[in-house]
Structure 1
Amino acid sequence: MDASGWRLAFVRLTRRLWFRLAAFAVGAVAVALLAGAAGSWPTSVVPVDLGQGSVQTLLQILATSMLAVTTFSLTVMVSVYASAASVSTPRATQLLVEDQTSQHALATFLGAFVYSIVGIAALSTGYYGEDGRIVLYAGTLVVIALVVITLLRWIQHLVGFGRMADVLDRVERAACDAATEAARRPHLGGLPPVPVPATAWAVEAAVAGVVTRIDLQALSTVAERCGGRVHVLVRAGAAVARGEALARVERGGEDEHGGAVRRAFLVERHRTYDQDPRLGMVALGEIGSRALSPSTNDPGTAIEALNAIQRVLTAALTTAPDGETAHARVHVPSVALADLVEDGVRPIARDGAALVEVGLRVQRVLGGLLHVAGDEDAAVLREASRRAERRAAAGLSDPGDVALVGQAAARARGEAA
């Protein structure tokens, strides 16, 4: 595994809930046990006999309360995950699981519980002397202060955590980050696709799944070693079957370079937001589409999703490519604007075809995007406007509503009404 692979593994590790819980628990055990190794300086600084009972009482209170608070917090988090998956989209759950405030709160509560348990056990064995009890008492006061501050932040965080607005904001940020990065580096630092020579040999996927990451540096290294070029055929987010071609390589051979090229494509069970701008648009489209279902009937949320889609696409359209080619021997396809528009706008335009307010908002969003789009992108947006207009004309029953959507579509495309 190269440096970028290790870096990705470390970032993913730090996002996991258990990692922070384990780190805080280990730290709590270390602090509680190191207090017994204190020298004679604590009694000279604090010439007070605290007694073993006072420290143990505080630790018992802390242990009892932290067990209840940790259980409550975990229950709340699981409930929020289930609620977000049912009312918005399951694609947003991974963003909630990676929420840093929630992880920090749960880790702090668990760490305080472990600290108090270890302290009580050590006190009962006579592990601490007079100096150790003073250090343990001071450490307990610090832990209590951290718990109080964290609890106040956690309570404030729960006011909006997992609500529809919070989910929309999280998905929008993830989609915007991925979309702007794709616009800045449309070919991931490589070159645009070119015709693939017939002699180029294919590297096939070893397992079925979803491509979540492509290591361009590894592909560039292979291309330099074999003196040819690597033609990437799939982007992150693409579902591949076992035996499906991931890339084609000029020169070299499967036995010599096939394993290295195959390892450059990370194939997993589920899509992630990192290199996949389409996933964010899919999630926003699903949120808007689910809000328009008969059981929910919430056009306002669909309109909010459309507004978020407009902001994401505006950021992508206004981001200039950096023009840097770090991997001159690797050819990578870019993410098409048509795919992003279809992923985000089409589900809402389809399911909201019978609602005039949704039809009007779709046209206004597309019209706003046309103001910042280039000629090629403008053609894609105009076609999306026409399709949405046809859906609305077929779904609306009132001729006046049909006329309103038609006028909004004409204004969006810059045509005469």
Structure 2
Amino acid sequence: MNTHGLSNRIRTTWESLSTSYWFIPLCMMLFSALLCGACLFLLQRTTLPDWLLTFIPLVTQEGAQQVLGTLASSIITVTSIAFSMTIVALTLASSQFGPRLIRTFMVDRGTQVVLGMLVSSFLFCLLALHYISAVQENQDAMSLLTALSVVLGVLNIGVIIYFIHHVAASIQADQVIYRCFRELCGDIETLLPAPSENSSLKPVAPALLKDGPFRHTLTADREGYVQTIDYEALATLRNDIVAGVEVIVRGGDHVFPRAPILVVHSHTEVNTSLLRALSASVIVGKNRTPIQDPEFALGQLVEIALRALSPGINDPATALTCLDRLTSACILMSERTFPAPSVINRDTNCWIKRRAFTMEGVIDRAFDQIRQDGKSHVAIALHILHCLYVLKQQLDPNYAALLARHANATYALAMTESVVEKDNAALDAALSRLV
């Protein structure tokens, strides 16, 4: 496996780990156990300097056990409260913003570190309490171990205060929308990287690519979502065997069992081992991820807007905020270079045809569903027209026709619901400014 393919698998694995509540707490628990073990190993073989004894009171074995027991029981109680608050926040997020937004909450580093700090502190106190009898003859060591536990207890007080504030802030609609937008901005550099002059992949017109006399269709061996595709590995095949590869799927697509994913054009018959290796270049998982899917984070903002426009919630203000963030995201993405649908490797002359993401698809993803679900809200239609006007001012003139189609569709759909002359006049003015 080449380094790029290994990098894709590492990114896929890290995506799974970073959206879990167990990885960072487990790492912090391991560090806490090692810290406690190091303290016990070193302190049994040394004594504290006199200047340090000024800040650390000497304690007896009974006093140390009482302090450690109190801290351990208090921390585990606070930990259970923190986990309960987390579950409540996830429940509120699922009902208010949609179940697919839970990922945005689970990837939050603040919550993961707080939970890790609490459980690792409890583990430290528990281990110290278990081994306290082994250092009872060294009062200095026993006192320092107790002091470290007290320091952890004080830190946990600050941590739980921060956590209460963090949870209260994180479930606010504006904060959730901003976090989705910030995540999208952070992914743009990876999703749409700037073209490199040293890259071996060169964009080419599809008409210039010649198919091989042999065709091998590779199918998915499992159902799921396409998480990553190793285009580098597909483009570095030997040209005397493989002419090129046609990639039928793209990141974010759902594939069914035995659905075609690749079509290999070759000059000769290709052995089974090579076909199996090519099939492994498309990683299919159970969840959709933003690794190679520019529309993933856009979809999260769209889902918040759709949930806000549902009759059960009826919160158009949240949908308006989502439209503002979606417009900003479209402007930022328009400044990037989208992948070419056809590329050829300069070194091997092996080509790739693929379903590439486009700016047109991004704009459609951002506005289509919100326009359809918000047809009964004149304010939504007016704001969509305003956002399209902003995009017309910022984007390349080549997108003017696309924006005009969105504007006409928004206007036509809103006019089927609007019967008030004032609203009709506002819609007419907004459309005339844009088209």
The answer to whether the superposition gives a TM-score over 0.5 is: yes
Report the Cα offset of residue 282 of structure 1: 1.9
Output the amino acid matched with 1:97. Answer: M
The 1-side partners of 2:117 and 2:35 are apart by 14
Aligned to 1:201: 216
Kindly provide the CA deviation profile for residues 55-83 of structure 1, in whole angstroms up to 9, marking residues without a partner as x: 22221221111111111111111111121
Matched residue count: 412
Tell me the equivalent position of 1:62. 71
Please say if 1:26 is aligned against 2:41. no
Alignment correspondent of 2:363: 341
Residues 267-307 of structure 1 show CA distances to partners (whole Å, capped at 9, x for unaligned) of 11221122212122222222112211222111111111111
Asked if 2 retains the 8 angstrom alpha-carbon contact of 1:32 and 1:119, the reply is yes
What SS does the corresponding residue of 2:226 show, helix, strand or coil?
strand
CA contact (8 A) 1:223 1:229 kept: no
Q: Describe the SS at the equivalent of 2:171.
A: coil
Name the % identity.
21
Equivalent AA in structure 2 for residue 238 of structure 1: D
TM-score (norm 1): 0.89
Between the aligned partners of 2:49 and 2:221, the Cα distance in structure 1 is: 67
Contact 2:339 2:356 in 1 (8 A): no
CA displacement at 1:379 relative to structure 2:
2.0
Matches within 5 A, 1:303-322: 303-320=320-337
Which residue of the other structure, out of 399, 406, 414, is the alignment partner of 1:384? 406
* C-alpha separation in 1, matches of 2:184 and 2:325: 9
**Does 1:159 find its partner at 2:173?**
no
- Partner SS state of residue 396, structure 1: coil
- The alpha-carbon distance between structure 1 residues 293 and 227, as it changes in their structure 2 partners (threshold 3 A), is closer
Quick one: structure 1 residues 182 and 372, their matched pair in 2 at CA, closer, same or farther if it must change by over 3 Å? farther
In 2, Cα distance between equivalents of 1:364 and 1:302 = 14
Q: 1:10 to 1:181 in 2, by over 3 A?
A: closer
Alignment-mate amino acid for residue 17 of structure 1: Y
Work out whether residues 172 and 312 of structure 1, in 8 Å CA contact, stay in contact via their aligned partners in 2. yes
Q: Distance in 2 between matches of 1:254 and 1:244?
A: 21
Write out aligned runs for 1:365-376 (5 A): 365-376=387-398
Aligned match for 2:257, one of 234, 242, 267: 242
Greater mean deviation of Cα atoms: 290-299 or 145-154 = 145-154
Query: Do 2:194 and 2:336's aligned partners in 1 also have CA atoms closer than 8 Å?
Result: no
The two structures, once aligned, show a CA RMSD in angstroms of 2.8
Using a 3 Å threshold, how does the CA distance of structure 1 residues 341 and 18 change in structure 2: closer, same or farther?
Answer: same
Q: Is the 8 A contact 1:171 1:283 kept in 2?
A: yes
Cα separation, 1, equivalents of 2:278 and 2:404: 39
Instruction: Give the superposition deviation at 1:189.
Output: 8.4
| 2:414 counterpart of 1:397 | no
Partner of 2:103: 94
CA distances 1:23-69 after superposition (whole Å, capped 9, x unpaired): 12222222223322225433344566422133222212211111111
Structure 1 residue 136 displacement after superposition: 1.0
Structure 2 counterparts to residues 232-311 of structure 1, below 5 A: 232-251=247-266, 253=270, 255-311=272-328
Aligned residue for 2:432, secondary structure, equals helix
The letter for the 2-side match of 1:285 is V
Output the CA distance in 1 between the equivalents of 2:391 and 2:9.
39
Q: Deviations over 1:329-353 (max 9, x none)?
A: 4343321233222322122211221
Deviation at 1:192, TM superposition (A): 5.9
The one-letter code sitting in structure 2 at the alignment partner of 1:241 is F
SS at match of 1:139: helix
Alpha carbons 1:25, 1:111 under 8 Å: kept? yes
**Structure 1 375/176 Cα, relative in aligned 2: closer, same or farther at 3 Å?**
same
Unaligned runs of 5+ in 1: none
TM-score (norm 2): 0.85
Quickly say closer, same or farther: Cα 1:293–1:44, change in 2 above 3 A: closer
Deviations 1:147-167 (A, max 9, x none): 234234323312311221122
Secondary structure in structure 2 of the residue aligned to 1:229: strand
Q: Which one of 87, 91, 106 corresponds to residue 78 of structure 1?
A: 87
Cα distance in 2, alignment partners of residues 282 and 19 from structure 1:
26
Kept in 1: contact 2:211–2:244 (CA 8 A) = no
1:210 is displaced (CA, Å) by: 1.1
Contact 1:180 1:315 in 2 (8 A): no
Shift of 1:257: 1.7
- Which amino acid in 2 is paired with 1:402? N
